[in-house]
Amino acid sequence: MIEKPNLNEEEIVANYQEFLALIKSTFTGERQEKLLAMYADDAMGQELSLAPASMSEHFHFAFPGGYLLHIMRVVKCAFGAKKLFQAMGANIDFTDEELVFAAMHHDLGKLGDETGTYYVTQTNDWKARQGDVYQMNPNIQYMEVTDRAAYVLQHYGVKFNWKEYLGIKLADGCYKESAKAYLIGFKPEMYLKTNLPRVIHVADYVACRGEYDSLQVKPQ
Protein backbone atom coordinates (compact mmCIF):
# COMPACT_ATOMS: atom_id res chain seq x y z
CA MET A 1 0.00 0.00 0.00
CA ILE A 2 1.51 3.28 -1.19
CA GLU A 3 1.12 6.02 1.43
CA LYS A 4 1.75 9.67 0.61
CA PRO A 5 -0.43 12.78 0.20
CA ASN A 6 0.13 13.20 -3.54
CA LEU A 7 -0.62 9.92 -5.27
CA ASN A 8 -0.18 9.58 -9.01
CA GLU A 9 -2.51 7.54 -11.23
CA GLU A 10 -0.36 4.40 -11.12
CA GLU A 11 -0.21 4.47 -7.33
CA ILE A 12 -3.97 4.95 -7.01
CA VAL A 13 -4.56 1.97 -9.32
CA ALA A 14 -2.06 -0.15 -7.36
CA ASN A 15 -3.84 0.63 -4.08
CA TYR A 16 -7.20 -0.27 -5.63
CA GLN A 17 -5.84 -3.59 -6.87
CA GLU A 18 -4.40 -4.36 -3.44
CA PHE A 19 -7.82 -3.73 -1.89
CA LEU A 20 -9.48 -6.12 -4.36
CA ALA A 21 -6.81 -8.72 -3.59
CA LEU A 22 -7.70 -8.46 0.11
CA ILE A 23 -11.33 -9.18 -0.72
CA LYS A 24 -10.35 -12.23 -2.77
CA SER A 25 -8.05 -13.59 -0.05
CA THR A 26 -10.50 -13.04 2.82
CA PHE A 27 -13.98 -13.80 1.51
CA THR A 28 -15.44 -16.66 -0.48
CA GLY A 29 -18.62 -17.60 -2.29
CA GLU A 30 -21.51 -15.19 -2.66
CA ARG A 31 -20.08 -12.57 -0.30
CA GLN A 32 -16.86 -12.30 -2.30
CA GLU A 33 -18.88 -12.10 -5.51
CA LYS A 34 -21.15 -9.35 -4.17
CA LEU A 35 -18.26 -7.30 -2.76
CA LEU A 36 -16.27 -7.47 -5.99
CA ALA A 37 -19.38 -6.47 -7.95
CA MET A 38 -20.01 -3.55 -5.59
CA TYR A 39 -16.50 -2.19 -5.94
CA ALA A 40 -16.49 -2.84 -9.70
CA ASP A 41 -19.50 -0.53 -10.07
CA ASP A 42 -18.26 2.54 -11.94
CA ALA A 43 -19.36 5.10 -9.35
CA MET A 44 -18.39 3.08 -6.28
CA GLY A 45 -15.05 1.95 -7.70
CA GLN A 46 -14.09 5.50 -8.63
CA GLU A 47 -15.03 6.84 -5.20
CA LEU A 48 -13.15 3.99 -3.49
CA SER A 49 -10.01 4.96 -5.42
CA LEU A 50 -10.24 8.75 -5.23
CA ALA A 51 -12.22 9.74 -2.12
CA PRO A 52 -10.44 11.48 0.77
CA ALA A 53 -10.55 10.06 4.28
CA SER A 54 -11.84 13.34 5.73
CA MET A 55 -12.85 16.81 4.61
CA SER A 56 -10.23 18.81 6.51
CA GLU A 57 -6.47 18.98 6.53
CA HIS A 58 -6.83 19.29 10.31
CA PHE A 59 -8.14 15.72 10.49
CA HIS A 60 -6.51 12.97 8.45
CA PHE A 61 -5.65 12.07 4.85
CA ALA A 62 -7.81 14.78 3.25
CA PHE A 63 -6.51 14.15 -0.27
CA PRO A 64 -7.51 12.00 -3.28
CA GLY A 65 -6.95 8.36 -2.42
CA GLY A 66 -6.85 9.05 1.32
CA TYR A 67 -9.98 7.02 2.03
CA LEU A 68 -8.53 3.79 0.68
CA LEU A 69 -5.22 4.33 2.46
CA HIS A 70 -7.12 4.82 5.72
CA ILE A 71 -9.23 1.68 5.23
CA MET A 72 -6.20 -0.52 4.63
CA ARG A 73 -4.44 0.98 7.64
CA VAL A 74 -7.46 0.24 9.84
CA VAL A 75 -7.46 -3.37 8.63
CA LYS A 76 -3.79 -3.63 9.60
CA CYS A 77 -4.39 -1.92 12.95
CA ALA A 78 -7.35 -4.20 13.64
CA PHE A 79 -5.10 -7.26 13.63
CA GLY A 80 -2.69 -5.46 15.94
CA ALA A 81 -5.52 -4.46 18.29
CA LYS A 82 -6.80 -8.03 18.28
CA LYS A 83 -3.40 -9.27 19.45
CA LEU A 84 -3.30 -6.62 22.18
CA PHE A 85 -6.79 -7.49 23.43
CA GLN A 86 -5.88 -11.18 23.40
CA ALA A 87 -2.60 -10.61 25.26
CA MET A 88 -4.49 -8.77 28.00
CA GLY A 89 -6.95 -11.63 28.43
CA ALA A 90 -9.89 -10.19 26.49
CA ASN A 91 -12.20 -12.63 24.75
CA ILE A 92 -11.66 -12.89 21.00
CA ASP A 93 -15.18 -13.90 20.06
CA PHE A 94 -15.04 -13.12 16.34
CA THR A 95 -13.34 -14.50 13.25
CA ASP A 96 -10.68 -12.84 11.12
CA GLU A 97 -13.24 -12.59 8.33
CA GLU A 98 -15.59 -10.66 10.61
CA LEU A 99 -12.69 -8.46 11.70
CA VAL A 100 -11.68 -7.59 8.14
CA PHE A 101 -15.27 -7.02 7.02
CA ALA A 102 -15.99 -4.53 9.79
CA ALA A 103 -12.64 -2.75 9.41
CA MET A 104 -13.02 -2.61 5.64
CA HIS A 105 -16.48 -1.07 5.74
CA HIS A 106 -16.57 1.10 8.88
CA ASP A 107 -16.29 4.27 6.74
CA LEU A 108 -18.10 3.00 3.65
CA GLY A 109 -20.71 5.75 4.02
CA LYS A 110 -18.01 8.25 3.02
CA LEU A 111 -18.25 6.95 -0.53
CA GLY A 112 -21.84 8.15 -0.81
CA ASP A 113 -24.51 6.04 -2.47
CA GLU A 114 -26.39 5.69 -5.75
CA THR A 115 -27.72 9.24 -5.38
CA GLY A 116 -24.33 10.95 -5.23
CA THR A 117 -20.90 11.21 -3.64
CA TYR A 118 -20.43 12.01 0.05
CA TYR A 119 -17.58 14.51 -0.36
CA VAL A 120 -17.39 17.31 -2.94
CA THR A 121 -14.77 20.01 -3.42
CA GLN A 122 -15.09 22.92 -1.00
CA THR A 123 -16.69 25.93 -2.72
CA ASN A 124 -16.27 28.40 0.13
CA ASP A 125 -12.91 30.13 -0.33
CA TRP A 126 -12.65 31.15 3.31
CA LYS A 127 -13.25 27.59 4.54
CA ALA A 128 -10.80 26.25 1.98
CA ARG A 129 -8.12 28.60 3.28
CA GLN A 130 -8.84 27.29 6.78
CA GLY A 131 -8.03 23.76 5.60
CA ASP A 132 -11.51 22.43 4.79
CA VAL A 133 -10.64 21.28 1.29
CA TYR A 134 -13.82 19.19 0.96
CA GLN A 135 -17.41 19.54 2.13
CA MET A 136 -20.31 17.14 2.53
CA ASN A 137 -22.46 16.92 -0.57
CA PRO A 138 -25.60 18.99 0.16
CA ASN A 139 -27.53 17.25 -2.61
CA ILE A 140 -27.76 13.80 -0.99
CA GLN A 141 -29.78 12.76 2.04
CA TYR A 142 -27.92 13.26 5.30
CA MET A 143 -27.10 10.05 7.13
CA GLU A 144 -24.49 9.20 9.71
CA VAL A 145 -21.54 7.56 7.97
CA THR A 146 -22.13 4.18 9.61
CA ASP A 147 -25.84 4.23 8.78
CA ARG A 148 -25.07 4.91 5.12
CA ALA A 149 -22.50 2.10 5.21
CA ALA A 150 -25.20 -0.38 6.21
CA TYR A 151 -27.54 1.06 3.58
CA VAL A 152 -24.94 0.75 0.80
CA LEU A 153 -24.08 -2.85 1.71
CA GLN A 154 -27.72 -3.92 1.59
CA HIS A 155 -28.22 -1.95 -1.63
CA TYR A 156 -25.60 -4.13 -3.30
CA GLY A 157 -26.92 -7.31 -1.67
CA VAL A 158 -23.91 -7.84 0.62
CA LYS A 159 -24.91 -9.82 3.70
CA PHE A 160 -23.41 -9.19 7.13
CA ASN A 161 -24.05 -10.51 10.63
CA TRP A 162 -24.83 -8.67 13.86
CA LYS A 163 -21.22 -8.62 15.03
CA GLU A 164 -20.05 -7.06 11.79
CA TYR A 165 -22.92 -4.57 11.89
CA LEU A 166 -21.98 -3.42 15.39
CA GLY A 167 -18.31 -3.33 14.43
CA ILE A 168 -19.24 -0.82 11.73
CA LYS A 169 -21.89 1.03 13.72
CA LEU A 170 -19.68 1.63 16.76
CA ALA A 171 -16.36 2.28 15.04
CA ASP A 172 -16.25 5.89 16.29
CA GLY A 173 -16.86 4.83 19.89
CA CYS A 174 -18.36 7.39 22.25
CA TYR A 175 -17.40 10.21 19.90
CA LYS A 176 -20.83 9.49 18.37
CA GLU A 177 -23.83 10.12 20.60
CA SER A 178 -25.75 7.31 18.92
CA ALA A 179 -23.11 4.78 20.03
CA LYS A 180 -23.34 5.53 23.74
CA ALA A 181 -26.40 3.36 24.32
CA TYR A 182 -24.33 0.39 23.16
CA LEU A 183 -21.05 1.26 24.87
CA ILE A 184 -22.22 2.73 28.18
CA GLY A 185 -24.60 0.06 29.44
CA PHE A 186 -25.96 0.34 32.96
CA LYS A 187 -27.54 -3.12 32.96
CA PRO A 188 -25.73 -6.41 32.27
CA GLU A 189 -28.27 -7.38 29.63
CA MET A 190 -27.33 -4.24 27.67
CA TYR A 191 -23.57 -4.93 27.60
CA LEU A 192 -21.98 -5.70 24.25
CA LYS A 193 -21.85 -9.44 23.66
CA THR A 194 -18.81 -9.19 21.41
CA ASN A 195 -15.49 -7.35 21.58
CA LEU A 196 -15.37 -6.74 17.82
CA PRO A 197 -16.70 -3.14 18.02
CA ARG A 198 -14.11 -2.29 20.68
CA VAL A 199 -11.28 -3.69 18.57
CA ILE A 200 -12.47 -1.78 15.48
CA HIS A 201 -12.73 1.46 17.44
CA VAL A 202 -9.18 1.12 18.78
CA ALA A 203 -7.90 0.31 15.29
CA ASP A 204 -9.66 3.30 13.75
CA TYR A 205 -8.48 5.67 16.48
CA VAL A 206 -4.84 4.57 16.22
CA ALA A 207 -4.87 4.72 12.42
CA CYS A 208 -6.36 8.23 12.46
CA ARG A 209 -3.80 9.42 15.01
CA GLY A 210 -0.94 8.08 12.95
CA GLU A 211 -2.31 9.59 9.75
CA TYR A 212 -2.64 13.00 11.34
CA ASP A 213 0.82 12.93 12.93
CA SER A 214 2.53 11.64 9.80
CA LEU A 215 1.51 14.70 7.80
CA GLN A 216 2.52 17.33 10.34
CA VAL A 217 5.69 19.38 9.87
CA LYS A 218 8.32 17.97 12.18
CA PRO A 219 10.63 20.37 14.07
CA GLN A 220 14.20 20.51 12.81
Dump pLDDT digits (tens) for 57-114: 778 888 999 999 999 999 999 999 999 999 999 999 999 999 999 999 999 999 999 9
Candidates 35, 75, 45; CA nearest to 159 is 35
% of the chain at pLDDT higher than 70: 97
Cα 125 to chain centroid, rounded: 28
Task: Quote the pLDDT of residue 168.
Answer: 97
Q: Count the Cβ atoms, other than its own, within 10 Å of residue 116.
A: 13
**Across residues 169-193, what is the average pLDDT?**
86
How many Å apart are CA 98 and CA 113, to the nearest integer? 23
**Across residues 30-59, what is the average pLDDT?**
91
How many Å apart are CA 218 and CA 7, to the nearest integer? 21
Whether the per-residue pLDDT at 207 is higher than 90: the answer is yes
How many Å apart are CA 166 and CA 209, to the nearest integer? 22
Residues 70 and 110: beta-carbon distance below 8 Å: no
β-partners of residue 132 are 56
Average pLDDT, the chain: 91
The one-character DSSP state at 106 is T
% of the chain at pLDDT higher than 90: 68
The one-character DSSP state at 166 is H
**Across residues 29-53, what is the average pLDDT?**
93
Four-CA torsion 150, 110, 142, 55, nearest 10 degrees: 160
Kindly report the pTM of this predicted structure.
0.92
β-partners of residue 188 are none
Task: Quote the pLDDT of residue 31.
Answer: 97
Which has more confidence, 116 or 124?
A: 116
For the segment 155-175, what is each residue's pLDDT rounded down to a tens digit? 999 999 999 999 999 999 888
Cα 207 to chain centroid, rounded: 10
Candidates 101, 111, 84; CA nearest to 171 is 101
Task: Quote the pLDDT of residue 144.
Answer: 93
Whether the per-residue pLDDT at 217 is higher than 60: the answer is no
